[in-house]
Each structure stands twice: as structure tokens, then as C-alpha cells.
Amino acid sequence: MSARRTPWRPAKAGIQMWVALLLATLSAFADAAGWSDYGNDAGGRRYSDAAQVRPDNVDGLRRQWLYRTGDLARRPAALMRSVKFETTPILAGDKLVFCSSFNEIVALDPGTGAQAWRYDPHVATDLRPANRYNCRGVAQWRDPAAPADAPCALRILSATVDARLLAVDARSGIACAGFGNDGQVRIDVGALDRPGELQVSSAPVVAGGVVIVGSAIGDNQRVHAPSGRVRAFDARSGVLRWQWDPLGPGSAAGAANVWAPMSVDEARGLVFLPTSSPSPDFYGGLRPGANRHADSVVALHAADGTLAWAFQIVKHDVWDYDVAAQPTLTTLAVDGRPRDVVVQATKQGLVFVLDRDTGQPVFPVEERAVPQRGAPGEQLSPTQTFPADMPALVPSTLRAEDSFGFTFFDRGACRDKIAALRNDGLYTPPSEQGTLVYPFTGGGVNWGGVAVDPAGIVYVNTSRAVHAVRLVARADYAAFRAAHAGKEVSPQAGTPFGMLRDLVVSPFGAPCNPPPWGTIAALDLNSRRILWQEPLGTTEDLLPLGIALHTGTPNFGGPVATAGGLVFIGAAMDRYLRAFDAKTGAELWRGRLPAAGMATPMTYVWQGRQYIVVAAGGHG
């Protein structure tokens, strides 16, 4: 978290590997439960009917197999510093399928972890990708017109860091010859500022025979960043079917892209998009207005890409408060009747519940005045939208006197750092003085999203840390960048200001806000109250001598809830997969991983046994 070596900076990214766990004493005649999509179902609920592992037997979990991608051993160390391992596999036919950080598609035996096949698209390794080398998942599609045993009747679809869409046979891993050019479609992304400025990192989704992909685009480089358009291709042929640009034609800005996971309601023919901020993140003077459809939940008709509805969460975003979590589709009992809804958690720690047909809020929302006096030329929205009675998952105010430190010395240093920043609460605009952004731009809730059980209980992990964002006048930018080597200093070319974004940490490298720095919680959507909340993660793998303070840690990855009454999650900066009691929040079990598991786990039943799988690749 700091340019210098501190206890909060890991010594080395962990070896990338798969770890699978099962309860080895269970009956071989249990009901089947699969995991067909990135979030288990197309609506991303991350809830499994698997119920073999329960609070009363979870301590019987043991590691059964592991699979190494081999990247750490065969790739240069310098390249591996540009890698994330955030993948979640799916169960496709009789294979467990996932993608590596370098977009290799791998199929394993679900019971033994033995490799069945591996497809390498040979992505370029000389890029500077927007979101590092990273692939969060794959999708599957069964061709209804093909005989079940025909090649590519069941195909795996994935997209790459160098903007290609891939289709391979789920049984053999051989490229689907009838899809694009020998199983690959090169996405037309237009002119890029650098190789890798646009990539695809999240899994595609499939609806009505079309495969839909978003994109990740480099932040804060220029006003005229690449378009954030979403693209749909024929799942059989790879032919482009439609494109949709969140900002519309003629926009002065780019991006507002969909880098986070999408969701699908096949029956309604809708695809749900979480859109991001327009470019650049921290200065909007050249993109006046609300920048409609940026920072929104958007529903499109999957057949043709036309707009069904949109609900904007942040107007005229200058805080990098993307809608980063997958829109989660579930059904709630509202006024005694079932109602299909979209649950959207945000980086600000807010939770919105929207009607799936109209996008209208199911529970009340309100407009609240937010801080003004932006940078010269800025035109801020006077209000932002808040849930009226849904509790926030994280705090959004921090005073200097609330600063944290392990000692009087570092607490004082944190107090001074906080006091020096402009700090008027949530949505304080970026400034040349430097502005406190809390929650930081990593969340609250990030791409790990939420899990929702049939009773309408949301299980969600959050991070609690602080960013300082400073605008730098164009005339001073070059000298400022040189003086802050090793920090995130970006040009925002075409605007009057460059920017600095930095974590607000103590001289020891710990966050300056009070712990917990990461939590997991249960939120009852029906009663709109938090049922329980617990720290997530310890300092065991961060502090000398394995000192394990139960402070929680910033975290990435999401939870999985099961019918067995458990919530499984990795995500934290220590090396554990954990199981929490879904009713009480008590941590019932933890399994040691070879590296931090900063990916969302998944679970399935195979040949009568329940497995829990997580990608463990460490963090930077």
C-alpha cells in the first residue's frame, strides 16, 4: 500500500494455484448442485443449494487437491508483478472450467483436479493493461440447434486482455472453427493511447444466443478515453450483433465502461449492466451535466441492445465511484407478494433495490445536498441519490481526531494527514488542496459483489480505507510527477489538472482510519437492518512474527452463501478461506491457503460430495 516496504506491503505475490476443499465423510447420494455461471446463476446470486457442509460439521473440511497454473514458474518475475488472479470457475458439463491471468482456459476434473485440457490464446505479454493481466471468469453456451455430441455444441466463451473473444469446445478445449476466425473474434476497440489501454477482465454473459462483453479501460489518462461501449456477438458465429455506448454519440468524454460482471434475466430477455465513471475520474469540467447512464444500473434488451431502463446512482462522478459490483437478481416478498428485483451495492457502501421491469426503487430513495465548490471549471451536481432507510454498510465521515495509530507517534501523523485534507463528508469534490475520499475508491463494496439467500438476506464484504485525491495544475504537473515517483500520478490529458491518488496510511503503513479495515455483514433487505457484522481478515501475514490482530483488512473478492447455513469467503489480505455462520456471523472455520485468496469462491456437489473451490494467487 506504500511505495516503501511496510508491513502492509506483501513480500511477494503468492504462487497461483487452485485449492479445493470437501467434507470427506458425507454420503455419496446427496442431491446435485452445480455452478453454471460466474455468480452461480445468470442473476449472480452467489447462493448454492448445496447443503452437505453445515455449521455442525464444517470443521471436517480438508484440502483434497490443488492445481497450479504454473505462471509463477514460467513467466518472468517482472511480468508477474503485473498480474492478478481473481478467477472463479464454473461447472460446465463434466468439467470445472476457469481462466488464468493470461487468459488460458483450463478444464479440470471436478473430483480430482486433474487437468483435462488447456487452451492458450497466446495473449501479448508486452502490454500495459488497464487492470493488470487478469481474467475473472468464463461463460458457457449450449447450441440448441446442434446435436449434443457435435463439436462445440457446448462451448466455453471468454475474453482477453488484448481484446479478443474466444470460443472453445467444452469437452476438448479445441477452438470452435465456425466462430469468427478459428474460434476467435478480434474486438474493434478503435485507436488506443497505448497497447492494453482497453482490455476485458470480467466474464462475458450469454442471453438469447448472443454473448455480451464489456471492457476495462485505463483510468485518468485523458478526456477522450476509449468509448465504454458494450458489444454483443452471435454466440454461434461470432458476428457482431449490436453495440451500446453508455454516454451516447457525440459525448465529450469516453469510458463509462462496464468492467464489472453483468447479469442476465433470460425470461425477460434483459441484460443488466453496472456502468462506471466517465473519463477522467477526478475532473469533469469538460463533461457538463449528470453524464447520464454513467455510474448507473442499466437494463438492455439482449436481442438488439436497446435501452429498457436505467437508474443513475452517481451524477457527474468525480470520485471514481463506479458501479463496480454485479447487479444481483433475486425475488423478495414485498407487501406480501413476490417481486423480482435488482440488488445493487456500491463503493460508497450503499444498497439500492430496484424493480426488475422498470428500474424504479422498490424501497424509498431521496436526493440529499452534497458538498459543492469544485475545482475551477467544475459543474457539480447539487444533490446525490441515497437510500432513505437502508443502512449504509460502511462509514463515510472521518474527523482528524478519529485517526488511528498503533502508537502515539503514528496516530499523530495520521491526525495531521487527515487535518490537511479538504473533508466535508461523502462527495467532497477533488481539490488542489487535496481531498479526503472515504470510503476510498476501492469501496465499500467492489467487484466481489454480494450473495443473496432466498429469505432476502444479503451477505457482503466491505473495505474501509481512505484515499487522498489531489488535483495538480497543468503547469506544475511534470515537476510534481517527478517528485512523486512511485505514486499514482496521472495526467488527465486534455483537462487543466493532473491528479494524485494515494492511500492515507501511517508511517507504519496501516490505514489512518479506525479498524475494522474490512468486514463481512448480513443485511436483511425486508427489514432494512444489519443483522450482524464482523471483521474480515487479520494481520497475521502482514505484521512481523505472524502477529494476528483482528482488525480486518481491505479485501477483494466476494462471498458465497449456501443452503447449509454457511457463508464462504477468502478476499482478505491474509492467507485463509473462511466459513461464517449465516445466522450469527460467527467464524466457524478457516482453511490455510498457499497465498491470499482474493477471488470469489464457488461450490458444487460432484459424485455425492460438496466441494468448495477458491483461486489463491496473492495480492499487490
Which residues are designated catalytic? 320
429 in Cβ contact with 380 (< 8 Å): yes
Residue 579 burial (CB count, 10 A)? 27
Residue 119 burial (CB count, 10 A)? 20
* Interatomic CA distance for residues 554 and 576, integer angstroms: 14
Q: Which three cell numbers stand for residue 528?
A: 432494512
| End-to-end C-alpha distance for the chain, whole angstroms | 8
* Interatomic CA distance for residues 542 and 8, integer angstroms: 6
DSSP string computed for 82-143: TB------EEETTEEEEE-TT--EEEE-TTT--EEEEE-----SS---TT-B-----EEEE-
Q: Is 150 exposed, middle or buried (0-12, 13-18, 19+ CB in 10 A)?
A: exposed
DSSP string computed for 486-526: TSEEE--BTSSEEEEEEE-B-TTS-BSSPSPSEEEEEEETT
Q: Kindly tell me the number of DSSP H helices and DSSP E strands found in the chain.
A: 4, 40
573 in Cβ contact with 556 (< 8 Å): no
**Minimal CA–CA distance to 38: which of 443, 458, 328, 415?**
328
